[in-house]
Amino acid sequence: MKRLFLTLASAAILFSACGNQKSGATQNNLDEASISTTSNKAPATKNSELLTKEQFIAKVWDYNKSPKEWKYLGNKPAIIDFYADWCGPCKIAAPILEEIGAEYAGKVHIYKIDTEKERELAQVFGITGIPAFLYIPANGKPVMMSGIGRSKEDTKKMFIENIEKYLLVKK
């Protein structure tokens, strides 16, 4: 089936922030004030690209041609942010990913997938809780992670550590 990453996604579900509920609930003691001051929705910006299913198949992985084998189509590492506009932690992660995109411009692609519009892609990866982040090295298997840190600084540190650990590995 198209669930190559079911095991990875299952682990991600356990640590998800929003789950399937459309509520203002947040993870890690983030208060409503921090969410309301982060009014950014997660659409693409100059440092990220919003992907449709068709763009994902063309740029990342054609799971129709190789449903059981991961074949990354990109030329440099990538992070895919699975998000929804109603998700508080997703709204917090969006501007942080924007900063990360600027810092790693030319080294790492930042993609975004709206799980409300691209339900099939969310299903392919077993996404039931968001935000979820797929770290894709240029060569090798991707790693799925979810959730954000307790603060902006913790979240940014988490992204940087994961980029250095999984995407920009020095050989």
pLDDT tens track, the chain, 171 positions? 444 443 343 333 333 456 543 333 333 333 333 333 333 444 557 899 999 999 999 999 999 999 999 999 999 999 999 999 999 999 999 999 999 999 999 999 999 999 999 999 999 999 989 999 999 999 999 999 999 999 999 999 999 999 999 999 876
The single residue of 90, 93, 94, 122 carrying the catalytic annotation is: 90
72: phi then psi, degrees, rounded to nearest 5: -70, 130
- Domains of the chain, start order: 6-21+29-167 (3.40.30.10)
Q: How far apart are CA 133 and CA 145, in angstroms?
A: 5
Give pLDDT, residue 32.
33
18 tagged catalytic: no
Give pLDDT, residue 169.
82
User: Could you give the 3-state DSSP secondary structure of residue 49?
Assistant: strand
87 tagged catalytic: yes
Give pLDDT, residue 128.
87
The pTM score is 0.77
The single residue of 17, 79, 87, 94 carrying the catalytic annotation is: 87
Give pLDDT, residue 18.
63
Would you say how long the chain is, in residues? 171
